[in-house]
Every structure is written in structure tokens, then in C-alpha cells.
Amino acid sequence: MSAAVRALMYLVAAAAFGAAAFAALAASADGPREAFVTNQLADSVSVVDLATMKQVAEITVPGRPAGVAMSPMRDFAYVTTPEGKALFAIDTVARKVAWQLTVGEGPLGIAVNPRSGVVYVANWYGDEIVAVDPVRRAIVGRVKVGRAPSGIAVTEDGTTILTADREADALSVIDAATMIRTGEIKVGTHPFGLAIEPGGKRAFAANVVSNDVSVIDLATRKVTTTVKVGSRPYGIAFARGRAFVTNQASRSLSVFDLANLKVVATIRVGDYPEGIEASGDGAVVYVACWSDNVLQRVDVESLSVSGTADVGDGPRGFGAFLR
Amino acid sequence: MNRIVAAIVLIASLPALAMAHGPSRKKEVTTIEIDAPAEKVWEVVGNYRDMSWHPAIDKTEVDPGEYKKEVTKRKLTFKNGAVFTDTLTRHEPAERTIAFLTNDEDLKTLPVEGYSSTISVADTGGKSKVEWKGAFYRGYMNNDPPPELSDAAATKAVIAFQKQGLEALKAKLEAGQ
């Protein structure tokens, strides 16, 4: 492809996406610039500038915000409010709530389909996943899953949704196109956080009560290995061939190698670490520490905390919060 | 008739509910100054084998075989007869910090779920400052709780429990016991 053709394609793309969205895309290519952290006890979302590790805005979101996910263009942060029974869409550039929608009982886990942009919300009390079309701002699908669904993950190709059904000790597998539940995979005791590794071959579920991570082969839909971690594991992120797991009650991260699934390090972080996400280049992971009211940056090479930002009360950041 | 149906539905759903908790966890921090060296205070609160410094607790039982392990369990018998088991989640003598997590509930004794405690002792120049951080869910695991199992009831109970414990700890240590 010639340079001229490529330039033309970029122009067309820019026109199609709009200038703001294109700017957001360009920004995320350089690594994340901001975190949108849900502060459950403060009824707010903190916007943290990642270069300075300072809170630069706090957006009021009533109803005990907990889960968070980003639109594919990172122009919207979607936030669940378990007590408000609602999904909020925050315009990340304007830093304002753009719209909200009642979605059901105890919405907590949330993920966005990377291909279609459809938002999936897990209704903890309703034992169901609802699909929300953010353009129409309407519920466009529903599917029953196991009891108390919490974490949600979507495969990179957008075809398959997984949920961690906490009280069922299992994952549900859902076909995204039809919103039909096609299977159940038994894991450890009370899975909560859930993530699919880059490449999409395996899923990892953090089991809050059995203090381990189930590694699931997605082709066979079977647990292949169980990795012991710290106390009350919550969230999982991947960076540079390793998994980083937040252990709430041990106030630590367990780090294990994705090739041999052996724990290589335990990193001390702020108290009650919960939501965790890696930067696009895998150089750092960011961790929301619920008890200490901070967002911490952990350097992946040195395996140590390299920055701390004060946020609101009770940060959870359960999901994807970087843009 | 409706009441009977409601009662049956409630009973049928109890065992499952007892394992669940809602998504909104609360926190409550209680602190106290004690006129005693931090090491002395830590000797008492850092001892996972014995929580009798708390006036509500009558008896602590630890499986001795488990004690050396990083994570262990104990059984706490309250003076009202209630029995709780908990798990030691952190024991860090260098930082004088102990943390434990209740495994089961007795809503009449404490209207909370999944109660975890982190107790730290700081040296304030020969004296001590003790901090007890509680993290907990209310005792009612669905939306719209009855008043006795509300967030407010849970918060009130946790504050009272932590305050009672720290005040007794202070009295014990300042009396030189």
C-alpha cells in the first residue's frame, strides 16, 4: 500500500470517527493517559491523570458505583451502580454523565464487546446478563446465567461472552450474536474476577473463597490448572507474559508466569487491592486499593509500586478503567 | 395465605442467601490512643491465639497444628454463646499489623456479613495509637433491607464492637495487666 493511499485511508477514518474520537484513539496508542476509577463509598468516579498520578476531576455517580468498562474508542466510560440499579455512560472527554439506563437488580460486572461496542452488564441479584446498545441506549438482549454473576469477559473477536457466576462456582459461556448460554464450566469456590489472556486461548477466574485462580482452556472448556494465590483474590490483568492478581485480604498482588503458571512474585500494595488493569504496552499495571482510597501504579519490570494517586472513598475499579 | 407463601419462600431461600453478599461493602475505622509501649500493645492484639482482650469474646480456640502456617483459622466463642470462625489473612509483626476475616455470621450478635478486621499498632513516642479497620457488608443480602439488617444497623454494630474492643484493650494495658 502506498503512503498516499494510507494517508487517504486515515483521512477517511478521521472523518468517519470524528475528530474527538480520533484524538482519543491516537492517545490510547501512546499508552493510557487517564483512569476512571469508581469510588463506591463516595458515589463518584475519579479521573486520574496517569502522567502526574493526580486526580484531575471527580464525577458524581449516585447508587454505589462499582463496575467500569470503556467503549472501544475510549470516548465513553460505562459504570454500573448496584444500588442505583443503573448503567451510567460518562463522556470521557467532557467528563460528564451523558446518559443513564435502569438495567436491573444489582448491576455489578461490566464489559464491552470490542467489535460491536455492545455493553454487557451482570445483574448480581437477577442472575442474568443484559446487553445494552449504547447508541440506542436500550436493552437489546438478556440471558439467564448461574447465581450471582460478577466478572464478565468478552473474546477479542467479539463472539463469546464469559461470566463468573459467584454462587454457582462456575463460568457461563454465552454466544454474543444470539445471547444464548451455550455452556457452564465449573471452577473454584466463588469466582469473581475474570479475564481472557491476550490471544484468547485461555480464561482466568479468581476464586475469592478458595484463594486460587482457575485456568480454563476455552477450546475444551475445561480447567487445566489451578494456581494458588493470596487471600481473597479479586481481579486479574496480564502484562509481559505474566498474570497479576489482586489479593484483597493479603494486600498484595500475586504474579505468575503465563507459560508455566508458577508464581514468581508477590508484591505488597495498598490495602484491599481490587480492580486492576495493565497499560497497553504492559509496562505498568494500575490497581485500585479500596481501603486506602488510592490508585497505585506498579512497575512490571521492577515489580514494585512506582506511583500512588489519591482518589475518592472506596475505589473498586472493577473492570477496564484506563483510556 | 400470602404470608405463609412468603414464609416458605423465605425459608427456602435462606441457605443460599447465607452464602451470598451484596456488591456494596462498607468500611469503618476506629482508633484509640493507649498510654503503653507499642510492643506491649502488639503482644496482646497480635496474638491470634487469644482474643479475650475483647469483652464480647469468651474463648479463642486455634488448631495448634495450623498455627505455624501462613494462613490459619480460629474459633471465637462470644459471651452470648455465638460462635464465629475466622481466618488469619495477615500477621506482620514488623508492622504490628494483624488482619482476620470472619467466615460465618450470627446476625443477632453482629448484623453483618463478610466482616474483615485489620488492627495496627503505631508507636507514638513511647505511647501507642491503635487503628482497627473494619470492612463489612450489611446482614441483608438483597436490595431493600429491613431496618435491623440495613447498612445503618451494620455500621452501628461494627462501630460499637470495635469501640468496645479498643476501650477494653486500653483499660487492660493502662492498668498494666
Nearest chain B Cα distance for residue A123, angstroms? 10
Residues B34, B174: contact at Cβ < 8 Å?
yes
pLDDT, tens digit (0-9, with 9 covering 90-100), for A14-68: 444 444 444 444 444 567 999 999 999 999 999 999 999 999 999 999 999 999 9
By percentage, how much of chain A surpasses pLDDT 70? 91
Cβ-proximal residues to B77 (8 Å cutoff; 6+ apart), any chain: B57, B58, B59, B60, B61, B83
Mean pLDDT of the A257-264 span: 98
How far separated are the first and last CA of chain A, in Å rounded? 30
For the beta carbon of residue A147, count every other beta carbon within 10 angstroms.
16
Phi-psi region of B93 (alpha: psi -120 to 50; beta: other; left: phi over 0): alpha
Nearest chain A Cα distance for residue B81, angstroms? 26
Q: Which residue is associated with the grid cell 489482586?
A: A246
Residue A165 β-bridge partners: A149, A170
By percentage, how much of chain A surpasses pLDDT 90? 90
Candidates A180, A183, A179, A159; CA nearest to A171 is A183
> Could you give the count of Cα atoms lying within 13 Å of B16 in the half-sphere of its Cβ?
14
| Predicted-complex ipTM score | 0.80
> Could you give the count of Cα atoms lying within 13 Å of B45 in the half-sphere of its Cβ?
37
Residue A108 is nearest to which of B23, B26, B116, comparing CB atoms?
B23
DSSP B66-106: GTTSSS-EEEEEETTS-EEEEEEEEEEGGGTEEEEEE-S--
Residue B142 is nearest to which of A125, A147, A166, comparing CB atoms?
A125
How many helices, marked H, and strands, marked E, lie in chain A?
2, 28
**Strands A284-289 and A294-299: what pairing?**
antiparallel
A291–B contact, CB cutoff 8 A: yes
Residues A67, A110: contact at Cβ < 8 Å?
yes
- What's the pLDDT score for residue B63? 74
pLDDT(B152) > 60: yes
- How far apart CA A21 and CA A299 sit, in angstroms, is 29
Task: Tell me if B89 and A105 make a contact (CB, 8 A cut-off).
Answer: no
pLDDT, tens digit (0-9, with 9 covering 90-100), for A270-298: 999 999 999 999 999 999 999 999 999 99
Q: Which residues from chain A sit within 8 angstroms of residue B72, using beta carbons?
A: none
Residues A297, A279: contact at Cβ < 8 Å?
no
- How far apart CA B89 and CA A59 sit, in angstroms, is 34
- What's the pLDDT score for residue A37? 98
| Burial readout B66-86 (b: 16 or more C-beta within 10 A, e: otherwise) | eeeeebbbbebebeeebebeb
- What's the pLDDT score for residue A35? 98
Residues B45, B36: contact at Cβ < 8 Å?
no
Candidates A109, A144, A108; CA nearest to A127 is A144
Residue A167 is nearest to which of B20, B24, B25, comparing CB atoms?
B20
pLDDT, tens digit (0-9, with 9 covering 90-100), for B23-60: 689 999 999 999 999 999 999 999 998 999 999 999 99
Cβ-proximal residues to A270 (8 Å cutoff; 6+ apart), any chain: A251, A287, A289, A291, A292, A294, A296, A308
pTM: 0.87
| Nine cell digits for residue B111 | 448484623
The type of residue at B142 is N
Candidates A261, A264, A265, A311; CA nearest to A287 is A311
- How far apart CA B9 and CA B67 sit, in angstroms, is 42
pLDDT, tens digit (0-9, with 9 covering 90-100), for A142-190: 999 999 999 999 999 999 999 999 999 999 999 999 999 999 999 999 9
pLDDT, tens digit (0-9, with 9 covering 90-100), for B80-122: 999 999 999 999 999 999 999 998 888 899 999 999 999 999 9
Residues A254, A276: contact at Cβ < 8 Å?
no
pLDDT(B136) > 70: yes
Average of per-residue pLDDT values in chain A:
92
Q: Which residues from chain A sit within 8 angstroms of residue B150, using beta carbons?
A: none
pLDDT(B18) > 60: no
Candidates B165, B92, B121, B140; CA nearest to A106 is B140
